[in-house]
Structure 1
Amino acid sequence: MTTSGSALARDLTAPVRGGRLAVTRWPGDGPPVVALHGITANSLAFAALADALPGVDLHAPDLRGRAGSAELPGPYGLGAHVDDTVALLDHLGLERAVLVGHSMGAFVAALAAARHPDRFPRVVLVDGGLGFPPLGGTDIDALLKAVIGPAMDRLSMTFASAEDYLAFFRAHPALGPHWGPHVAGYVTRDLTGRAPELRSSCVLDAVRADGADVLGDAETLAAVHQPGVRGELLWAERGLLDEPRALYDAGRVAAAALDPARMPARRIDGTNHYSVLFPPAVEEVAAAVRDALAEG
């Protein structure tokens, strides 16, 4: 049992293909929610959301190829994450759950709801789930770097000490200004290896496979438009480096032609791609989750 922020987190595992999926649970007597993180992230990305949802029974897996689930084998890809999420529900004895997905996790959430609308009746998609304009080229590493930038660079870096690793993130323009227990716990969960060669736990082949699906898999890109996928899309005002150009803007969201009755979309002002999950903006995500629970 560990703590992250003010919420008491418990570590558990669930049987999935090839081994066991690591899951962080913030237990509650209320309805179940499963939260799916981004492409180089981990379960503790949702610690602040757990704090903002007292009583909700929140489960956040380390997705296959990351953190506590880094040893799970391929094949990777978003379909594998969907299968793992269904296996988690089965292990917990749950018929259904609301899904929250951030960044790549939003694509997984939409795909899961498209494939299994009876298991995932409502989704909250946070700064993800809508396809991006074609980037051109075929080198997946180059394409991912164009989209996620330093998050991709970090996977090939080593750090002499945990202090150096934390200093790297403290200098991150999108994370540093929001530094606190939630952010520190989140980034520390990804650290593995031994000094002086500490590194990210993310498996590069998993990141590549998942990124290829986000950028070009037809089923993944169509998922948010499927009639069984119901919920809300929340998008951040600023980008991955806190730059003015965000992953989404009003024009891109409008061009997606989402059904406003089935998947309304709104911007969370004053946020970037990461800070949307940390205080104070996370309260808006929590409100969307509560709405999804009420409607589901």
Structure 2
Amino acid sequence: MRVAVEGGDLAVEVHDGGTAPVLAIHGVSGSRKLWNWVATHDITLVTPDLRGRGDSSNLAGATIKQHADDMVRVLDALELDSATVAGMSMGGYVAVDLAVRYPDRVRALVLVDGGLPMPAHAQLTEETLTAVMAPQLAARQRTWTLDDYLAVHATLNPLTDVTDPLIREYYAHDLTADGHLRLSAETLAADTKDVVFGSSRWQELTVPTWFVHAEWSTGPDSPPAYSVERAHAYASELAVLHEPVLITGVDHGGTVMTAAGAAVTAEVLAEALKHAAN
């Protein structure tokens, strides 16, 4: 479906399941297909392509605040007064902003390896961030076949299974018919800077919140985005934050893009949905 927002419209997919709807928000370079693995667990998911990505790639103007405002329009279009909201990576920061500025629209919040300050961000500068983003921006300049695109991501994401049909569907959604990326360079840069250098309002959260985090960042034994100690420190600082859930044996993307990670994330979502229904 298409949902009217400021400046155009968003593409939104609804996965019918056996639960109340969950508004699920993807990460900075992802798309709505990120949630396909979680959808296999009979959870009703509302999954938008955010501005500048996938079927919303022609819609300009991105900030965390703008994305959150767009999510309100999605809830309005589906006639949902409120919903449980999940956000992965950058989507977690969007979900936090949504819950802080529109708390009546969020029944419960599930943050997946994002949304809370990442210690690594404190070490980044404008120059180092530009260098980190360079490969993603350069990828927009070439023409891809799906197999070539998958091969690159198999190297970057060693824990994902390129033979998985859902992986192929996820990465195929990134490409136009002629093999170009459906990802706005301007949006990618703006959103990444907003996440890294912006101010998260997580300490203002008032809705019940769950936090799921990965053992690694990219591949086995890589430093995680959130250590166990840091995750528990956040829980001690925020009364509405439930006990953090560590997913072992997965990295950042694997929290939702592997069968093992999606199973744990779906279990936490089920807990949040149950809490929201009471």
**Do both proteins adopt the same fold according to a TM-score greater than 0.5, normalized to the shorter chain?**
yes
**C-alpha displacement of 1:176:** 3.9
Which residue of 2 is the match for residue 3 of structure 1? none
**C-alpha displacement of 1:229:** 3.6
**C-alpha displacement of 1:274:** 1.0
- Within the candidate set 35, 50, 54, 1:63 is matched to 50
Seen in structure 2, the aligned counterparts of structure 1 residues 136 and 272 have a Cα distance that, compared at 3 Å, is closer
Alpha-carbon separation, structure 2, partners of 1:66 and 1:258: 36
Seen in structure 2, the aligned counterparts of structure 1 residues 209 and 99 have a Cα distance that, compared at 3 Å, is same
Work out whether residues 99 and 205 of structure 2, in 8 Å CA contact, stay in contact via their aligned partners in 1. Answer: no
- Within the candidate set 12, 18, 32, 1:23 is matched to 12
Seen in structure 2, the aligned counterparts of structure 1 residues 181 and 94 have a Cα distance that, compared at 3 Å, is same
Deviations 1:84-124 (A, max 9, x none): 10000001111011111111001111111111111012111
Name the amino acid aligned to 2:148: D
**Is residue 2:273 matched to residue 1:286?**
no
**SS in structure 2 at match of 1:122:** strand
Seen in structure 2, the aligned counterparts of structure 1 residues 269 and 207 have a Cα distance that, compared at 3 Å, is same
Deviations 1:21-52 (A, max 9, x none): 00121123531111000100000000010111
Work out whether residues 86 and 92 of structure 2, in 8 Å CA contact, stay in contact via their aligned partners in 1. Answer: yes
Bigger Cα displacement from structure 2, 245-254 vs 61-70? 245-254
- Within the candidate set 97, 100, 106, 1:120 is matched to 106
Seen in structure 2, the aligned counterparts of structure 1 residues 164 and 93 have a Cα distance that, compared at 3 Å, is same
| 1:99-118 alignment, distance < 5 Å | 99-118=85-104
Work out whether residues 109 and 123 of structure 1, in 8 Å CA contact, stay in contact via their aligned partners in 2. Answer: yes
Work out whether residues 60 and 187 of structure 2, in 8 Å CA contact, stay in contact via their aligned partners in 1. Answer: no
Work out whether residues 154 and 200 of structure 1, in 8 Å CA contact, stay in contact via their aligned partners in 2. Answer: no
- Within the candidate set 255, 267, 272, 2:251 is matched to 272
Name the amino acid aligned to 2:182: S
- Within the candidate set 20, 31, 42, 2:31 is matched to 42
**SS in structure 1 at match of 2:117:** coil
**C-alpha displacement of 1:184:** 1.2
Q: How large is the Cα RMSD of the aligned pairs?
A: 2.2
**Is residue 2:149 matched to residue 1:165?**
yes
Which residue of 2 is the match for residue 5 of structure 1? none
**C-alpha displacement of 1:149:** 8.1
Which residue of 2 is the match for residue 138 of structure 1? 126
Alpha-carbon separation, structure 2, partners of 1:160 and 1:128: 29
| 1:1-296 alignment, distance < 5 Å | 12-28=1-17, 30-52=19-41, 54=42, 56-74=43-61, 76-133=62-119, 134-139=122-127, 142-143=128-129, 145-146=131-132, 152=136, 155-177=139-161, 179-192=163-176, 194=178, 198-218=179-199, 221-222=200-201, 224-256=202-234, 258-259=236-237, 261-264=239-242, 265-277=244-256, 278-296=258-276
How many residues end up aligned between the 2 structures?
A: 272
Deviations 1:114-140 (A, max 9, x none): 11111012111001111133124224x
Work out whether residues 170 and 179 of structure 1, in 8 Å CA contact, stay in contact via their aligned partners in 2. Answer: no
Work out whether residues 28 and 192 of structure 2, in 8 Å CA contact, stay in contact via their aligned partners in 1. Answer: yes
Work out whether residues 70 and 203 of structure 1, in 8 Å CA contact, stay in contact via their aligned partners in 2. Answer: yes
**C-alpha displacement of 1:179:** 4.1
Name the amino acid aligned to 2:197: G
**C-alpha displacement of 1:242:** 4.2
**C-alpha displacement of 1:170:** 3.2
Alpha-carbon separation, structure 2, partners of 1:167 and 1:136: 28
Name the amino acid aligned to 1:280: A
Deviations 1:138-187 (A, max 9, x none): 24xx41654x785x356445234233222222333435446401111111
Alpha-carbon separation, structure 1, partners of 2:53 and 2:65: 16
Structure 1 gaps, min length 5: 1-11
Work out whether residues 144 and 211 of structure 1, in 8 Å CA contact, stay in contact via their aligned partners in 2. Answer: no
